[in-house]
Every structure is written in C-alpha cells, then in structure tokens.
Structure 1
Amino acid sequence: MGPLKGIKVLEFVGIGPGPFLGKILNDFGAEIVRVKKMYSFTNFFDTSNNPEITIDLKHPQSVEICRRLASRSDVLIDPYRPGVLERLNLGPETLLKLNDRLVIARLTGYGQTGPFSQKGSHDLNFLALSGVLSLIGYEDKPPIAPLNLVGDFGGGSMLGAFAIVAALYERSLSGRGQIIDHSLTEGTGYISTFVWQTMKFKPIFWPNFPRRNANLLDNGCPFYRCYECADKKFIAVASGEEKFYENLLAVLKPKSSLNRFDIKNWPSISEEFARIIRTKTRDEWCELFDKTDACVTPVLELDEASLHHHNLYRKSFDREKDLPLPAPRFSRTILDSHNDSGDEAKENESNRSNESTEILKQLNFSDSEIDKMSSMGIFE
C-alpha cells in the first residue's frame, strides 16, 4: 500500500505543481480527497481513483464542507495565492484551531510574503527569478525555456512532497502540525545549489562564463552534449571522466588527438566528433557503445522510452497506460501507480456526483442537508 498508508490529504485542486504533488503522495500510499472549484482548469494528471468533490467555494456551506474535511486530514495542499484561503475563512489560523495536527503546504510562485507574493507566475518565471534561466540556451540568443520540469515539478512538487513528509515526521515528535511556506522560486534555486557551488570553480565548470552554450555542462563542451546521427536521430555523450573519454575515443577513432582540457580546442573537437557521428545511425552507434562504458546513450523519443531493453528489464513504465511508474522503489513496500486505464477513468469520472454525496455523508451531513445543497448548486 505504500509507506504513506494511513495519511489523509485534502488537496485544493490547482494546476501543475499541486496536482503532481498530490499524485506523488497518492502513489506512495496517502489517501487523497480533492476539492475542485466550479469551472476549474483541466487536470493533466489522472486522479480518477481519488475521491473528488466540486463545490462553489464562495458559498458558506462549502466552507463548512472544507472545514470538516480539514478537521479529519493530516495534510492540506493549498495551491492558491496568499490570502485566498483567508478570504474564504479557511486560513491556517482557523484550520489549525480545528485540527492542530494538520500540515498545511502552501504552494506559491514567490512565497507568502514579499513584493511579488500576489503576482501570477509560471515555471519560466521561477527559473528567471532564481537566476538559473540565464545559464540555459545558446550564445547571443535569448535563454531557452527547458520545459516546465525544473520549477513546477522539481523545485515545486518534489520539494513540496519532501517538506510534507519532513513535517509529518516532526509532528510525530511534537504532536503538532505546521504551515509550509513553499515558494517555487526558492525551490528552483535550492535544487540548483550545484550551479552556485560550481561558480567557485569557474575555470573547470564555467571557463567562458557568462557566455551560454560554451561551458562544461551547458552543451558547450565536446564530451558533454548531443550529436546528430545519419538518420537525423541523436545520441547523448557525457564522457567527462578520463576512462569514459578514452572509451569514447576508442569507438569514434578520431584522426586528431587535441588536448580536451584546452577550451580553445573544444570547437574543433566538437566538429570532428559531429562529422564522425553523422556517418552512422543512432542505433548503429548504440550497438557499438553498448559493448563499452563511455556514458553514451540514445536520445529516445517518448514513444521509444518504454520499449528500450533496459527500461523493459526494469519495468520502468506501465506500457498499457503509457506512463512512467512511481520512483524510487522500496525493498519491502510495493508502490501502486494509481493510474486507471482509459475505460476505468471514464467510468470513475461518470461517478463523480456519487463520490460527492459519499464524501458529504462521511462528513456527517444528513440526507436532507445534502439534498438541499444539491438543489442550491453548492456541489456537483
């Protein structure tokens, strides 16, 4: 059932980081009840196995529903801007009086305080304000958005999940819940600590700083970048250490033997590697590199990843649902992806109204109260 079995989570549904945070907790065993606002944004994560109620949060009776849910929960996920829950009379001060063991995780772009706290924001903004975005992209061109993985889901959902588990552990010692002020910008900065640390070793890691695409790990180095093959597919070369680089050279067999530690040679080495690698297809190169240890891998398309022989051996993907399975793995605890198949998901979605009624019954609302709330359009 997962290491978080028995933990009850109340998730106010937002977009991006919040739903994935809920999914992480659910995949690791927590029970989730999701509260959606009327006409809320599409959820891109399959949460059809989790009980869900859609309510009009502006109605006083909806506030009572949320209070009852919070009073029986271990964790609350708040994805709204600072002050929204307070305006709904659902702020932490109110909820902790009802349940002093509640852990309230407040996910915002810029934190609960500060000049930007009330501004809208997305992953790209978190990267920009943390300083990280300035390092990503090509020289003499604007920085590039590296998908919304680093800020939303790395600095956001993953660190949020860790913070919640840490707060639950602390609660086991103190007996009290607390509020987590999770700024996704600060989270993005924190998971980028390595970048800040390596700035102390610029000659090694950032020899051409502040130029982009010209340093050790930003695609500027010939032995840490991707190359195009004869079939227009790519391989990833990350042969930094000497033994890996020697194995790389043994396979590529370049004519020149330029000193790779002299950054003036990097363009020439890159050009020669690129010329050689364009002579074979990606799979032909992979067949050669699979026989040695050079830190060279194929750049797989999404529809190829689940079919790669290593991922098949590890059962890294649920191939029926075409999704990665939860990670990492535990030695004694089996994790469940909780992702229903398409038909199951549709069936569960059609039963949402029954779920809402069941949730309200569990909260000790009477049948007459539920019927009245339904007629008033308070829930769906």
Structure 2
Amino acid sequence: MLRGIRIVEIEALGPAPFAGMLLADLGADVIVAHRKYASMPGAPERSLLDRGKRSIALDLKDAGDVAVLMRLIATADGLIEGFRPGVMERLGLGPDACLTVNPRLVYGRMTGWGQDGPLAATAGHDMNYIGLSGALWYASLPGEPPMAPPTLVGDIGGGALYLVVGMLAGIINARTRGKGTVVDAAIVDGSAHMMNLLMSLGQSGALATERGQSLLDGPHWCRVYRTSEGSFISVQCIEPKFYALFLDRLGLAADPNFARQFDRELWPELGDRLAAIFAAKPRDEWISLFEGSDACVGPVLGPHESALHPHMAARGTWQAVDGALQAAAAPRFSSARWTPPKCPARGEHDAEIRADLAEP
C-alpha cells in the first residue's frame, strides 16, 4: 500500500521502531539509521522491530555521517525520531534543519510526554504516561492496583499507532499542498484520546468515576476468571441476549439474582459466585461447554498457545521466523499478500544506500 514512500528512522527504543516496522509492513521503504554499535548490552543482532527495513550505520556525532544522513533525509517523505525534546536539535538534526533540505518532509517525533509542557524533559515509561492520561484508571478489579498489558496501551496504542496515523496524514497533506510538517506524537496524548470510546459511555450514565461501577468495569459478566488448573477464561456477554445464552449454558437462567444483569449492587456477589463456579473445572471443559455459542466466552492464551489455536492458525496471525515468534502484518488488504521479510543486521545496507546517494 505504501510502495514509493520512503521513511528515515533514527534508531531508538520501543514505539518509534515499532512505528517504522508498521510502515515497512505496509510497503514503505524504511531506512533505519542505526548506531554503529548496539547501545543495549545483549541486544539481538537482528531485531524483530527492524523487519522489512534497510539499515545504515551512522555516528550522529560525526560530521561526515551527519552529512550522509542529511542527504538521505532530502530523499525521504518522512523521518521518525524517538529522543527526548531537544536531542535532535543538539545534533543539528532538528525540524528546522531537516525541513530546510526537504520542505516536504513529515518530521515524526515520538515521546512520552510530548514536545512541551512541564514534564516534557523528564524521564518516564509506559505506565507513567498512561497513569497520568487516565488510561490506566479502569485497568483492574475494584480494590486491586491498576495493571495494563505491558506496552500495548501506552507505547504501542497511544504512541506508535498515533505516530503512524500522523505520519500518513502529514504525507498526504505534503503531496497535495507541497508542504511538510512536524508530528508531535505523545503517548500521554494518544492514550488519553483512546479513552474517548469509554468516556462516551458517561453520556448515558454507564461510566462511573469509582472503579468497579461502570458498564465495562466491574460487572460479573465482564471479567476474567481462573479455572481449576490455573488457566483463565474471559467473559464479556454485554448485550442481554448474549448474557441470556451465558446463563443458559451455566444452568443459571432461573436464578433471580443473575437475572438482574445491570443491578450494580449485585455485581460483587455474583462475581464471587461465578469465580467459584469457574474454579471448579479446567479451562478446556468450559471452552467445550460454550463452543459454538454467542455467549462471548473464550480462553486467555499466551502468544505461543495462541499460535496453535485453530482460528489463529487458519489466519496465519502468528508466524515463527528464524526461531522467533512474531505476529503478521495488520491490517490485511485484498490486493496484497504479506510474507515475513528478513530483519537486517546493523549497517547491512550501508554500501547500497550510500551508492544510491552518490552524486552523479
């Protein structure tokens, strides 16, 4: 889909290289400017997040290498960097310098706190950003500390995906108006923006400030339960017709308390009763009981077990490449078939990229 678009990525950690990977998955020519030596002890020679990219090794404190990078930037549609505010400027590679050599450039900046504001210059990580944004608030049962899946809500959801959307919007704008832009993709902003679907429930009274009292936060029919052998099963039968199927399969359709699906006062008691019920049998027995129904019950699987599930296997969602499990590109397109590309070694394409940049 993105063939013909070139992105220059400055090596960083976490959401920035993930954004570059996603753009490469979609067909962009992503050239990552790696450091000449790995910055993290024990880092793999070939990172999964570099799949489909080309690599050039540069020292951004060396004037000659910076000149090479600037010539590369002059050929690009976009640039991605993931440093704290001010770092690229100190290297002479800030937006003003880059837009001077390429006025149509979309300059993508990936940070946790954003380019400005009281916290902009301070360190932080995924949970800090989503904790401040409000996105972590509902991520547990009442009385338990909030805990979201690592990286997914902040680094990837609120960070990398918003950076990619911003880059694509900027590139479309540059191609229609001939002018580049700077994309300020902050995890704290993106993760707050993702809350708007949940916040919309507040318009109908279905979202409470107190945890455990909202439509998607606390009901016995919207939880994960432990089974007898220590596995887990997810239950989220929100609509009454699905909830009725759920109760029927469990033999609880005639119970007057369970019939009161939206009675908040009963949710803790009914949650405890369901916890005891699900703890009495292993996960696979429960899956067998609900199989083929619309009761909205399913297993909670780890990635390696997920890869073996018939649905996931049929779609080829998880693939093992060179011994490393990885998820296939998403979304999918009817006109394109994706196959796992290789992950480059640091500086693998130096000669090729430098030759392309050689002046005639």
Following superposition, the deviation at residue 49 of structure 1 comes to 4.5
Instruction: Return the offset for 1:256.
Output: 2.6
**Map of 1:118 onto structure 2:** 121
Does the 8 Å CA contact 2:207/2:213 hold for their aligned counterparts? no
Name the structure with the higher helix share: 1
Amino acid of the structure 2 residue aligned with 1:359: I
Contact 1:155–1:184 (CA<8 Å) still a contact in 2? Answer: yes
2:216 maps to 1:222? no
1:293 maps to what in 2?
294
- The corresponding residue for 1:364 is 358
- TM-superposed deviation, 1:39: 4.0
Structure 2 distance, partners of 1:264, 1:235, is: 24
2:199 to 188, 196, 201: 196
Q: Shift of the alpha carbon at 1:152?
A: 0.3
- Asked if 1:55 is matched to 2:49, the reply is no
* 1:111 counterpart SS class: coil
Q: How far apart are the structure 2 equivalents of 1:118 and 1:205?
A: 34
- Matched ranges for 1:230-309 at <5 A: 230-254=228-252, 256-258=255-257, 259-309=260-310
Q: Is the 8 A contact 2:226 2:232 kept in 1?
A: yes
Aligned partner of residue 134 in structure 1, secondary structure: coil
Amino acid at match of 2:318: F
The Cα offsets for residues 213-243 of structure 1, whole Å up to 9 and x where unpaired, read as 454323x210000112222212111011111
Does the Cα contact within 8 Å between 2:56 and 2:348 map onto a contact in 1? Answer: no
Partner Cα separation in structure 1 for residue 59 and residue 150 of structure 2: 33
Aligned-pair distance for 1:52?
1.4
Give 1:133 shift: 2.1
**3-state SS of paired residue (1:136):** coil
Aligned-pair distance for 1:120? 1.6
Consecutive unaligned residues in structure 2, runs of 5 or more = none
Which residue is 1:22 aligned to?
20
From 163, 169, 173, the counterpart of 2:172: 169
Change in 2 beyond 3 A, CA 1:285/1:142: closer
2:103 to 100, 104, 117: 100
Contact 2:78–2:105 (8 Å) recurs in 1: yes
What is the alpha-carbon distance in structure 2 between the residues aligned to residue 354 and residue 150 of structure 1?
A: 33
Unaligned runs of 5+ in 1: 367-380
Return the alpha-carbon distance in structure 2 between the equivalents of residues 13 and 260 of structure 1. 51
Q: Is the 8 A contact 1:12 1:78 kept in 2?
A: yes
User: Cα–Cα, structure 1 residues 271 and 141, in superposed 2: closer, same or farther, change >3 Å?
Assistant: closer
1:373 alignment partner in structure 2: none
Superposition CA RMSD, Å: 2.1
Can you list the C-alpha shifts for 1:70-109, whole angstroms capped at 9, x where unaligned? 0011110011111212111111111112111111101111
Shift of residue 46 of structure 1? 4.2
Q: How many residues align?
A: 350
More deviation, 36-45/242-251: 36-45
**Distance between the aligned counterparts of 2:291 and 2:107, measured in 1?**
48
Letter in 2 for 1:216: L
Query: C-alpha deviations, 1:36-86, integer Å up to 9, x for none?
Result: 234424475342542212222112112101101100111100111112121
Q: Contact 2:130–2:187 at 8 Å: present in 1 too?
A: no
Which range moved further: 325-334 or 11-20? Answer: 325-334
